[in-house]
Amino acid sequence: MSLKEQIQKDMVNVFMNSDEFAESIMYSPADSTDREINAIVNRERLKPDPLSDNRKLSRQAEIYIANDPDSGVSKVIKGQDKVSFPVYEGDTESVDWVVVDVLEQDLSGWKLLVQR
């Protein structure tokens, strides 16, 4: 197994493991059926950029999901795909968020900016 293949496998089996780092979210692709996947959710107040140190983005979050057709997604449509998860970790009521940007992407995963 190559290093690239091992990293892809670890993304699904380790990082996206809900017993380790991830939590279950609902992913609603614009062109397909809603489905439950695991994601790492960063709910901290995000800074928009280094030039705007005084501003914070409180209605946005970052999520990390696997770049995998079975355990994550293999395609993202910005502005149309939606996700659903609680605003605060531990809450039971989920909120809808829109995928507004792809911050990073590689063969193993996606880092997405979502907004409610």
Three-class secondary structure assignment of 76-114: CCCCCCEEEECCCCCCCCCEEEEEEEEEEECCCEEEEEE
For the beta carbon of residue 49, count every other beta carbon within 10 angstroms: 7
Domains in the chain, CATH or no CATH each: 3-115 (2.40.10)
Cβ-in-10-Å burial (0-12, 13-18, 19+) of 7 comes to middle
Q: Tell me how far apart the alpha carbons of residues 51 and 74 are, in angstroms, rounded to a whole number.
A: 33
pTM of the model: 0.82
pLDDT in tens, 46-66: 666 566 555 555 689 999 999
Here the tokens at position 72 are 């994550």
| Between residues 103 and 17, the one the model is more confident about | 103
